[in-house]
Structure 1
């Protein structure tokens, strides 16, 4: 009795190998982001945001590698990716501030001296702001003034303005006073 030969055995082997390698890379990148977040005392919601960015990167990489493994012509693949990136580029040019804010959010994850709970002053000649950082999102910061006003401040602007630290970790100070 003849055992039927798998037609796509090589492709299946490389697919499984690629998935294992991508899972390891995903794990390593997430552990690295978590270590950086813990070392920099970055809030868990910002670390989870980085996890989403890592997942998107891994999915795009997996789609590209799957197409190569399963025999898609590199010329066709280049055409597809260039077309997709051209459409994305036009769309992002039309709404460039969103891309700018996301990029600023990533930069702020790795190198931003202020944390959630810090009271800061933004030195803007048109509208100076003194407020508490309540949350740091992908696109903006949530700032709470002493009057209780909630201000959403774009990430790209916070990197362009001079900022002073008024009080470090107000939440901890409030907890100490409550005891």
Structure 2
């Protein structure tokens, strides 16, 4: 999905704080005098300096616009858990008294765009993920089934969550595929 579609419809100039691999998605978008901030999984590009730059842009705008390419709290890398974009989104929301528009998971628009791009209906799709709230919860709110794998950032407490419950919990991706094939 190309989150840039929404951003370029709304923003004239952008302050971008994303992972280096996503920077080309914003080629041709003016960044000289930003009227909004876009944050995403910036990994090593997240620094106090970059976050403070985003803060200064937002706090200096009469009508600040903050777009977040996701809302995750943390994710897992080979060297362990790391803070995800949602943490920094919440910090900017609080500091600037602004509500971010989430254009990645778990937003309904994200899942609906993917379904539309794939020309599929929600009942034809199963979301497999390790994030109960963003992968599974987001998909279920759009009418899809969600299978949570017990890998990555999965925690045993996910299976007792008070408001989001996966349609099934499986040990890994292979087990998820087997569960889907068995169900059909």
With the shorter chain as reference, the TM-score category is under 0.3
TM-score of the superposition, structure 1-length normalised? 0.23
Instruction: Give the TM-score normalised by the residue count of structure 2.
Output: 0.23
Of Structure 1 and Structure 2, the greater helix share is in 1
Query: Which one has the largest radius of gyration?
Result: 1
Higher relative contact order (CA 8 A, sep 6+): 1
